[in-house]
Chains A and B, each alone.
Chain A
Amino acid sequence: MPVTDNSAGKTGAAPEGARARDRLALLTADNAAVPLPAGVQAITAILLAVLLIALPWLGLGYRFLSIAITTLYTAIGLYGLGLQFGQAGIMSVGHAALMGVGAYASAILSVQLGLGLWASLPFAMALSAIVGGVIGLPTLRVGGQHYIIITFCFCALFVIVLTNGGTFTGSATGLDVGSVTPLPGINFDKLSNNYYLVLAALFLAVVATYLIGNSRYGRTLRAIRENEQLARSVGINVDLHKLGVLMVSGLFAGLAGVLQLYYLRHISPTLFGAFPSLYLALMVMLGGARYLYGPLIGAVVVNFLPEVLNLDPVDSRIAYGVCLLLVILLLPGGVGAGIKNIYCAITGGFETQKQRGSNGRA
């Protein structure tokens, strides 16, 4: 969606209706490519970090903290999906299965070889990355809805394999693991320590996303997203980059899956089926895949909305559907875009930002 000029509202030359339309356009535009000033970005990051670090100390209770942990590990998976969808334009509706690859790899290593979280994490992440790349191979030939269907099929197949995998995968009953191996002086059975473990992983995911988004690699991915043929014609190895981003996305998913496993300490195939995958796609679209904090916002909205409004699963699905429609119609960039636009509208518009603009992420 093009960035809208809001200067008409300031001059007073345009009629009232046109000004209102301009304001609406300003608030609903997708301005992912227009970066916020560095100072604002830094303050936002610091405030967010302080809030997340302070959360266990705010006395919100174990229930809140439990849902916060769920939100954070979900957000880590979403950062991977955000990279492949927001940066490279490759949507997946089978992302929960990739998380499942990581979770099951770690669980099987625990059950069969007695490896704990720390020892199994690199293998689990690597396997998720490899599987992400293998599923990505069809994207070299097909794209768009075809690839989405492929990811959906992978998700369904993955669940069938796990359900019928005998004692190796625990079949439909699933697999159990023990606690996270303690680090010197840190026992992860304590919920707040478990929270900080997941928060640290989220921090890494956010930093990695920022660095990728603001690197040459990130710009290359966006070039592919905007016009694959043109990117190819200027010498970009499109196939390699597409597979690369899917593997990076798989790394994130693997990390999220392992953290999910050691939080629940019991996994079964239903956690990684079609519904959880669709929820992940929904979250990333709601939050805004092209925005640095979009995946986190999406995870917060979907995990906390039923809790705050006391919605049952049916009401929640209706609410998510309505939210998604509103986002598509009014905020194509997601809630992240809306927050940014509100900030810019309050502080004087996008013109200055646009002049500074490059292709970075805000």
Chain B
Amino acid sequence: MRQLGLGLTIAAAGLAMALQTARADEELPIGVIAAQSGSFVSAGNTIVGAANLAAQQINDAGGIKVGDKTYKIKLYIRDNRTDVNVTIAAARELVNDIGVKAIWGTETHDFSVSMAKITGPAKVLQFSGNSSLGAVLDNKAVAEDGWLHYTFQSEPQEWQRSGSTGKGVLSLLTPQLKSPPKHSVVFVGNDATGQYLSSHYVKALEAEGQKVDLVQYPPDTTDFSPLLTRIKGMKPDIVHFWYNGDSTLTAFPQALKLGVAPSYFLFGVDPGIYQERSLKADVPVTLSCVPVCWGSSPYPEVKQYFDKYFGLGAAKGPQSSVSLLYYDYFFWYAKALEKVGKIDDPDAVVAELLKSDYKGVVSPVPLVFNKHHQVTFATEVCMVEPNTSDQFKCAVEQPPAAPPPGDNGG
């Protein structure tokens, strides 16, 4: 009888512990919509890689303590197949069928905008990295009844990034050239992102005293030689290959062969990729990454991050660093949930995100959202020593305090 009593006590204790554990392991559903197939796959995979790493780290650390409950992140990852219709179907599924509390993605402006028209009315938070969202994130859109009230841009405003990038490129290249550079050509893909980004970058270079010509190429171009020959005729001091790292990696060797300019800037090409591809130029070349380089970062925490990121099997590519536009915001969101004390109050979470800060991997300075739901952080620019593939000199350039003349912000 005594043994039976003991047995019952142990069983009851076990049951209580099991219930406690079950209560402790409540699920926080978070959606990820990204291209895991199709033409945007290299950008899309970085979102998935960052989400997996962040969720794993948060869960391994015990989850998110909200009120008296602890939540483990449950990711619902959907492949948008680089198709806006599939993106919308996936957003509907995540928001209405599954009931996620927040969505990370997508990799492209059009898809993110269409998605925000679903997440907004449903009060689901959306974290998108597209800096071109700046074109629509205004006072009216982010107001409490605005369609982008629950959308956050996890990349700096484009005038900030353009300003820091332009300044960094010029300060690294100027000592390498016989005379200070005066004439720049910006070479960019003629698509939504390219148009938006280059409009700010041209103004940033002009603010630095450059005479700037803009040359656009159709997005699917593979033979750049006719346009590059035209650029050579313009006799530029610097050719800036802007925005699309994949296209730049095709165009840059063609430019070297044609001897288009005495110096180059390659936006979105990581030093790691430059080294892996054994690229070599007899003229000075500068590189910058979105947002921080994985191949040559001055920050130890960034290096640690990429070791873990690649350790999970993520591919090393020109866009790998884009994953950092998504990683930190998982932790920041978790911190906001803990502070608010409940997961079903998106308005309070938005308010908390807007008044809090977070020191993450992407920036040594704490991240803060401005009133238009955008963050600010510095840009890393590196220079490759001529005739080498692995000798880099990197500098971190802070963004300017205000947009340059002629740039209306955004």
List residues of A whose CB falls within 8 A of some B CB. Answer: 61-67, 70, 163-164, 171-174, 176, 189, 191, 263-266, 268, 270-271, 303, 306, 312-314, 316
Which residues of B (73-129) have their CB < 8 Å from a CB of A? 79, 81-86, 88-90, 92-93, 95-97, 109-110, 113-114, 117, 121
- A266 x B97 contact (CB < 8 A): no
- A268 x B37 contact (CB < 8 A): no
Distance in angstroms between the alpha carbons of A171 and B113 in the assembled complex: 15
* B196 interface hit (Cβ, 8 Å): yes
Closest B-chain residue to A73, C-beta based? B85
Q: Given the known inter-chain contacts A66-B88, A173-B109, A270-B110, please indicate yes or no for A189 contacting B121, CB distance below 8 A.
A: yes
Distance in angstroms between the alpha carbons of A268 and B97 in the assembled complex: 28
Q: Which of B88, B136, B191 contacts A176 (CB 8 A)?
A: B136
Q: Given the known inter-chain contacts A70-B89, A312-B79, please indicate yes or no for A174 contacting B97, CB distance below 8 A.
A: no
* B132 interface hit (Cβ, 8 Å): yes
Q: Given the known inter-chain contacts A172-B192, A264-B88, please indicate yes or no for A314 contacting B37, CB distance below 8 A.
A: yes
Q: Could you name 7 residue pairs across A and B whose Cβ atoms are closer than 8 Å? A: A62-B95, A62-B96, A62-B97, A173-B110, A266-B110, A266-B117, A306-B86
Nearest 3 pairs of A and B residues by beta carbon: A312-B37, A63-B93, A66-B89
Q: Which of A65, A173, A265, A314 contacts B92 (CB 8 A)?
A: A65
Distance in angstroms between the alpha carbons of A265 and B115 in the assembled complex: 10
Q: Which of B90, B97, B114, B196 contacts A265 (CB 8 A)?
A: B114
Cβ contacts B165-196/A at 8 Å (1 or 0 each): 00000000000000000000000001111111
Closest B-chain residue to A66, C-beta based? B89
- B135 x A173 contact (CB < 8 A): yes
Distance in angstroms between the alpha carbons of A271 and B111 in the assembled complex: 11
Distance in angstroms between the alpha carbons of A316 and B81 in the assembled complex: 10
- A171 x B81 contact (CB < 8 A): no
- A173 x B192 contact (CB < 8 A): yes
Closest A-chain residue to B109, C-beta based? A173
* B259 interface hit (Cβ, 8 Å): no
- Chain B contact residues, majority secondary structure: helix
Closest A-chain residue to B199, C-beta based? A171
- A67 x B85 contact (CB < 8 A): yes
* B38 interface hit (Cβ, 8 Å): yes
Number of chain B residues close to chain A: CB under 8 A: 35
User: Which residues on the A side are within 8 Å of B93 (C-beta)?
Assistant: 61-63, 66
State the Cβ distance, A116 to closest chain B Cβ, in Å: 15
- A266 x B195 contact (CB < 8 A): no
User: Which residues on the B side are within 8 Å of A314 (C-beta)?
Assistant: 37-38
User: Which residues on the B side are within 8 Å of A172 (C-beta)?
Assistant: 190-196
State the Cβ distance, B337 to closest chain A Cβ, in Å: 25
13 more CB-based (< 8 A) A-B contacts, given A172-B195, A176-B136, A265-B117: A61-B96, A62-B96, A62-B97, A63-B92, A66-B89, A67-B85, A70-B89, A171-B192, A172-B194, A172-B196, A173-B110, A173-B196, A314-B38
Distance in angstroms between the alpha carbons of A67 and B190 in the assembled complex: 30
State the Cβ distance, A96 to closest chain B Cβ, in Å: 13
- A173 x B89 contact (CB < 8 A): no
State the Cβ distance, A309 to closest chain B Cβ, in Å: 12
User: Which residues on the B side are within 8 Å of A173 (C-beta)?
Assistant: 109-110, 132, 135, 192, 195-196
- B89 x A313 contact (CB < 8 A): no
State the Cβ distance, A268 to closest chain B Cβ, in Å: 5
User: Which residues on the B side are within 8 Å of A316 (C-beta)?
Assistant: 81
User: Which residues on the A side are within 8 Å of B192 (C-beta)?
Assistant: 171-174, 268
User: Which residues on the A side are within 8 Å of B81 (C-beta)?
Assistant: 306, 312-313, 316
User: Which residues on the A side are within 8 Å of B109 (C-beta)?
Assistant: 173
State the Cβ distance, B248 to closest chain A Cβ, in Å: 18
Distance in angstroms between the alpha carbons of A264 and B84 in the assembled complex: 8
Distance in angstroms between the alpha carbons of A266 and B136 in the assembled complex: 12
- B38 x A312 contact (CB < 8 A): yes
Distance in angstroms between the alpha carbons of A286 and B37 in the assembled complex: 24
- B83 x A313 contact (CB < 8 A): yes
- A268 x B110 contact (CB < 8 A): yes
State the Cβ distance, B186 to closest chain A Cβ, in Å: 16
Cβ contacts B188-214/A at 8 Å (1 or 0 each): 001111111000000000000000000
State the Cβ distance, A269 to closest chain B Cβ, in Å: 9
User: Which residues on the B side are within 8 Å of A62 (C-beta)?
Assistant: 89, 92-93, 95-97
User: Which residues on the A side are within 8 Å of B37 (C-beta)?
Assistant: 312-314
- B90 x A264 contact (CB < 8 A): no
Distance in angstroms between the alpha carbons of A111 and B90 in the assembled complex: 28
State the Cβ distance, A201 to closest chain B Cβ, in Å: 17
Closest A-chain residue to B115, C-beta based? A266
User: Which residues on the A side are within 8 Å of B88 (C-beta)?
Assistant: 66, 70, 263-264
Distance in angstroms between the alpha carbons of A316 and B90 in the assembled complex: 18
State the Cβ distance, A69 to closest chain B Cβ, in Å: 9
Closest A-chain residue to B136, C-beta based? A176
State the Cβ distance, B112 to closest chain A Cβ, in Å: 9
- B38 x A67 contact (CB < 8 A): no
State the Cβ distance, B189 to closest chain A Cβ, in Å: 9
Q: Given the known inter-chain contacts A70-B89, A173-B135, A264-B114, please indicate yes or no for A191 contacting B82, CB distance below 8 A.
A: no
